[in-house]
Structure 1
Amino acid sequence: MASFGNIIFYSMIILIVLFSALIILLLALAFSDESSEVTSTNTLPIANLGEDILLSCNLNIKIELAKLRQVSVTWEKTNLKGLVHHYQDGAADFVDQNSQFKGRTQVFPEALGSGNASLLLRDVRSSDEGEYTCTISSSEGGGMVNIKLRTAAFTAPKFKFSNGTLVAEASRWFPKPNVTWSDEAGNILNGSTSLKQNSAGIYRVVSTLQPVNVSDTYTCRIENELVTSVSKATVTDTEVFGRTYFTFSAASTLLASIYLSTLSIILYTCYLT
């Protein structure tokens, strides 16, 4: 049976090797991105169901006005028969467009001169989730970039105050969220939350907090694995002043898998020794 010191030593060796490999990989990806002519400002966007989203795709080369008609932009989706959107010869070409995207996509010709081939996707549906590829071809250069679109439903809560009870109502959330209340000092408070799911699978959130003190500020946090809303609600005698901001998950599946692999190897090494 190995001593505790040996376990720590071998674990540290494994960690150093793995993190060195990770650094080399990240540097390689960074240099690869810099040399690529087509990039995206957000390769892991999250779209709000029922709303529009702009999928970013940019050619890092300006295109002369006289050569704009030579630019071809193709948007594809993995495992989809047909195209999401195709632009060539100065106009959209819908011949091979998949019916799922009919009337819902647009590329902006006036932006192509600066290399902007971003796609406007209207009225996002859950079936739109997946990996997209934007390919740009021009006489000045070209390339492609992959974008993984995720879908969710989220709305800021509306607040009501009556008889010492503060109520937060949010009409649309998906996936299923959790709700947490806290006071100005950050202490977790005991709220009561009701989640009702409609036929489309979207949750309506109603959460109550009591007792509540007038003039105090409370934080209502609604979150799932994709979206977090943080709302500050200040209670007065007559109304509630609320303000909300959203944050979005951009966790790398690559880093997550490396972390899990590292943890598994450490545990396995400890077991062997």
Structure 2
Amino acid sequence: MQSSMTSELTSLTVLVFLTLTCSGEPQLIGPTQPMVATRGDDITLPCHLAPATDLSDFTLEWARPDLDPRFVLVRRSGQELEGKQHQSFEGRTSLFTDELKNGNVSLKLSNVKIPDGGTYRCFIPELQKDALVQLVVGAVSSPDIIIAGLDGSSRGVMLDCKSAGWYPEPEVLWLDAEGNLLSAGPTESVRGPDDLYTVSSRVTVEKRHSNSFTCRVQQNNINQTREVHIHLPDEFFVSPCSSAALIAGLSLGQRQTTSSSSSANQSSATGHITVEVDQWGRYIRLMNTSKQEEQLRGCRLKLQVNNTETFMYTFKETNTIKAGKKITMWSSGSGSNDPHIGHLVWTEVKPWRPEDQLQLSLITQTGEIKLL
């Protein structure tokens, strides 16, 4: 019985081959351009026989010549031979079996990985026909912008842009609101053990009409671009925070985070300035524990909530913290009256929740100082 089936299949193969030969030389056709995929995607590597022919009973091979073993998928006698497959492709490859009757031997590759990039060979041994498919695999991620500090000489604002998880290595561009390229420092690029690149770039921007800036990270080989935008109010470009004693106290003090049993607030002691953040989002309080008045003129307070929202407050020339006193930043809609000396309302900030993750920092002419 088996011998009879084998004989029938052989006869069918010879018949199809002769038919194709008589009607014109068959061609196995792949894409003329490289296929591009992003890490984690599913992709189809096209390959089909023309004229269309039923290939259900043919031996079909997909291979990567640079691998050992080289086979990505092998189908013989209507079954896939998993034992011949390279282990890196286990469970991730398949053919469109319903389309084999139409000569379609395209390969579906799932959950694409960076090492999947390379040249694939689609091959039909009985016809001695093959086609090559080039696969380019990339990885992308969204960039972030942080305010790195102020340039005291130009009164400009220093912006840092960073993006991790790219492949191949991308380039970083800075643009103004009109799309003009800005002059920035050299891009720093680090390749990690996973072969992914982390890139960062810094630019100093000066006050202009819109004060809107864009960091663009792009990789032309995989046709991928990611952007992040930032708008800086005019107040950012005033004279920088100049209280040397305050800056030193914040920079050099030992930082710690505690929880108060009475109010369950977060506190951070930084030198002679103590920062208290109400867990219910009503206020942020700066307390001066020194014996001298501290000037806040030109300083900027930055609050990040859950790494998704960023709020900036620029202190006015009249804002000070007297020795042993406090200044409180009330969130908008908190409905509270500050019993302490010094109170301000941060109108852009709404009350947050105890489970929210907060980051608080002070921006001075020397850079950004983490408070919480």
Q: Which amino acid aligns with 2:100?
A: L
* Structure with higher helix content: 1
Q: How many residues align?
A: 199
> Within the alignment, does 1:220 sit opposite 2:216 as a pair?
yes
User: Contact conserved, 1:68 with 1:90, CA < 8 A, in 2?
Assistant: no
Q: Describe the SS at the equivalent of 2:52.
A: coil
> Within the alignment, does 1:76 sit opposite 2:70 as a pair?
no
Relative to structure 1, the CA distance from residue 183 to residue 61 in structure 2 (aligned partners, 3 Å threshold; closer, same or farther) is farther
Shift of 1:85: 0.4
TM-score, reference length from structure 1: 0.56
User: Contact conserved, 1:217 with 1:232, CA < 8 A, in 2?
Assistant: no
Relative to structure 1, the CA distance from residue 43 to residue 227 in structure 2 (aligned partners, 3 Å threshold; closer, same or farther) is closer
> Within the alignment, does 1:179 sit opposite 2:179 as a pair?
no
Q: Describe the SS at the equivalent of 2:104.
A: coil
Which aligned pairs between 1:98-247 and structure 2 lie closer than 5 A? Answer: 98-136=86-124, 143-155=129-141, 157-160=142-145, 168-183=161-176, 185-192=178-185, 193-211=187-205, 214=210, 216=212, 218=214, 220-223=216-219, 226-231=221-226, 235=230
User: Contact conserved, 1:221 with 1:228, CA < 8 A, in 2?
Assistant: no
User: Contact conserved, 1:194 with 1:206, CA < 8 A, in 2?
Assistant: yes
Distance, in Å, in 1 between the alignment partners of 2:33 and 2:123 is 14
Distance, in Å, in 2 between the alignment partners of 1:101 and 1:137 is 22
> Within the alignment, does 1:55 sit opposite 2:45 as a pair?
yes
Tell me the C-alpha RMSD between the 2 structures.
3.8
Distance, in Å, in 1 between the alignment partners of 2:124 and 2:211 is 56
User: Contact conserved, 1:53 with 1:120, CA < 8 A, in 2?
Assistant: yes
User: Contact conserved, 1:76 with 1:83, CA < 8 A, in 2?
Assistant: yes
Distance, in Å, in 2 between the alignment partners of 1:75 and 1:96 is 11
Q: Describe the SS at the equivalent of 2:84.
A: coil
Q: Unaligned regions of 5+ residues in structure 2, if any?
A: 1-24, 150-156, 234-307, 310-372
State the identity %: 24
Q: Which amino acid aligns with 2:193?
A: S
Q: Which amino acid aligns with 1:229?
A: Q
User: Contact conserved, 1:158 with 1:169, CA < 8 A, in 2?
Assistant: yes
Shift of 1:148: 2.7
Relative to structure 1, the CA distance from residue 36 to residue 182 in structure 2 (aligned partners, 3 Å threshold; closer, same or farther) is farther
Computing the radius of gyration from Cα coordinates, the structure with the larger value is 2
Distance, in Å, in 1 between the alignment partners of 2:55 and 2:114 is 34
Q: Describe the SS at the equivalent of 2:34.
A: coil
User: Contact conserved, 1:171 with 1:205, CA < 8 A, in 2?
Assistant: yes
